[in-house]
Amino acid sequence: MSLQTKTIVPSRYITFTIPNPSIHHHYNASHLRIAVLDSSSPSGRTKFGVIVVPVGLESDWVYSTFEGHLQILLCHTDFYRLVLIGNSPNPINPTSHSPVINPKDQSVIQRAFIRLLNDELKPSNQSSTVWFSTRVDMVIRSLVLGRFFGKIIGEMLIEDVEWKLENGVGTEFRRRMRFRKSPYLFETYMKIQPNKTDFVNMEDVEFEIVDDGVLRPSYLTPMVAGLRVNHLLLNRKIQKGIKPTALCLGVGTGALVAFLNSQLGFKVLGIETDSIVLDAAKNYFGFESSNNSRLCTGHPLKMAEKFATQVETDGFHGYILDDGECLNEFDDKFDVVISDLEAANPSVVMKSPSAEILQKSMLMNIKKLLGVNGVLILDVTIPRERYYDEVITPVMEVFGEMYEIDVENEKYSVVIAASETEFGAFDPSESEFLKTLKKVTGSFPEAVKPVSKKR
């Protein structure tokens, strides 16, 4: 194998096992698994990267699949090669994980691997430095609740985890949903709490969803804050006793649908690609359907296209689903369409919005679904240098007004698009709806600003 791995081949992915030379007492499997992935563009990259797979996580999708390996490499733009090395995975998928290695042992383990890595895997014409990297995993321990397979989304995992808070002070328990097709990025979660505090193993305690009025994951909060753009319209409706309406393209745990309904008084329709995701939202994340919050299965963009045709027909009295059911409670255009659709290609580390929704025909369909002063809200993680050409230009071609919220030092943005000009985004008055919006989304509504029509 060393003859093959001495040469860099762009995008090549190889996995193999070798007899364990007794590297360390925690790395005691009979064989070590080694996975090698070369960068698609190795020229100019100087580092030979290595990650030692944590004991107990050998079967985790992040470390055991090509998709996970690729997404780690995409986060290290200076690596011409990334090697993952660890114990061979147990053929039986583990149901729980707890850390077993003291951080002080890491340097000892890394030194033990260096000779092996240099002999077997370091290309002769590349830098001699073996650069050990550590994937920052905030999970302290985990418990698998269920593995499921959807016809469209593939394999999905529901698990409870103890999570290290970003400020380094304390932990919290979360229930999360993960997808094998993109294990490093596609996670959505809710906060949970144990029914007792004096426990050692997560298997020995029951958890319940925490309903604290906080929207999770956190990236959804600035998306909701985008409703500042048409807050005057929404306020007028509510004062007249009319519930504003929202269409959510992509559902996940159902958190956004439930939040819009319970915290802001919306009537919400959520569309998710695979029924297995909706089942999980109901069975594991506490989502309850009602006349004011509905979930349905279908390709979100194809359903939006179908709805756009229906809403403009004479005698329209409710959107019709693929199975023929008529949603009589949704019998008008929407006040907001929120897209939480990511790129399905795991090679795209910057995930949203999906390229499909930026097609002119698709944007026109969404525009048809919006009522007067309605808005489209997108989350954007495309790099800033591509932001204008790939997002702003195509959306502005269809929608006359555009606003944005920059989050995390412009690493992430929310784009709000509208086709009308009667907006109250910068109106000096503050409606009751806007007061409520600020209460549940913090300072994000104040960060809304217009997008320039010129670079």
Instruction: Express each pLDDT in 281-305 by its tens digit.
Output: 999 999 988 889 999 999 999 999 9
Categorize the per-residue pLDDT at 428 as very low, low, confident or very high, splitting at 50, 70 and 90.
low
399 in Cβ contact with 207 (< 8 Å): no
- Ranges 62-66, 310-314, 357-361: which has the least confidence: 310-314
Q: What pLDDT was estimated at residue 427?
A: 64
Q: Of 93 and 374, which is predicted with more confidence?
A: 374
Res 399: pLDDT: 93
pLDDT at position 191 over 80: yes
Residue 441's pLDDT is 96
The band of 227, judged by pLDDT with boundaries at 50, 70 and 90, is very high
pLDDT of residue 271: 96
In the prediction, which pLDDT does 323 show? Answer: 85
Q: Which residues contact 21 (CB under 8 A, 6 or more apart)?
A: 116
> Residue 107: is its pLDDT beyond 90?
no
pLDDT at 1 over 70: no
pLDDT at 258: 94
pLDDT value for 116:
76
Q: What does the alpha-carbon distance between residue 293 and residue 290 come to, in Å, rounded to a whole number?
A: 5
What is the value of pTM for the model shown?
0.87
pLDDT mean over 116-128: 68
Q: Tens of pLDDT along 71-101?
A: 899 888 889 999 999 999 877 666 666 666 6
More confident residue, 428 or 434: 434
Q: What is the CA radius of gyration of the chain?
A: 24
Q: What is the pLDDT of residue 41?
A: 86
Tell me the pLDDT band of 410, cut-offs 50, 70 and 90. Answer: low
Dihedral in degrees, nearest 10, Cα atoms 405, 215, 250, 358: 0
- Residue 173 region by backbone torsions, left for phi larger than 0, else alpha for psi between -120 and 50, else beta: beta
pLDDT(257) > 70: yes
Asked if the bond preceding 353 is cis, omega within 30° of 0, the reply is yes
pLDDT of residue 101: 62
Q: What is the pLDDT of residue 377?
A: 97
User: pLDDT tens, 335-352?
Assistant: 999 998 876 555 555 467
Which is more confident, 128 or 246?
246
* Per-residue pLDDT at 354: 83
Distance CA 293, CA 245 (A): 10
- Model confidence at 422: pLDDT above 80: no
pLDDT of residue 187: 73
Take residue 327 and report the two structure tokens written for it.
Answer: 């949603």
Percent of the chain whose pLDDT exceeds 70: 87
Distance (Å, whole) CA 332 – CA 244: 10
Give me the mean pLDDT over the 331-336 stretch.
94
List the alpha helices (DSSP H) in 96-229.
106-120, 220-225
What confidence tier does 388 reach under pLDDT thresholds 50, 70, 90? confident
Provide the mean pLDDT of the chain.
85
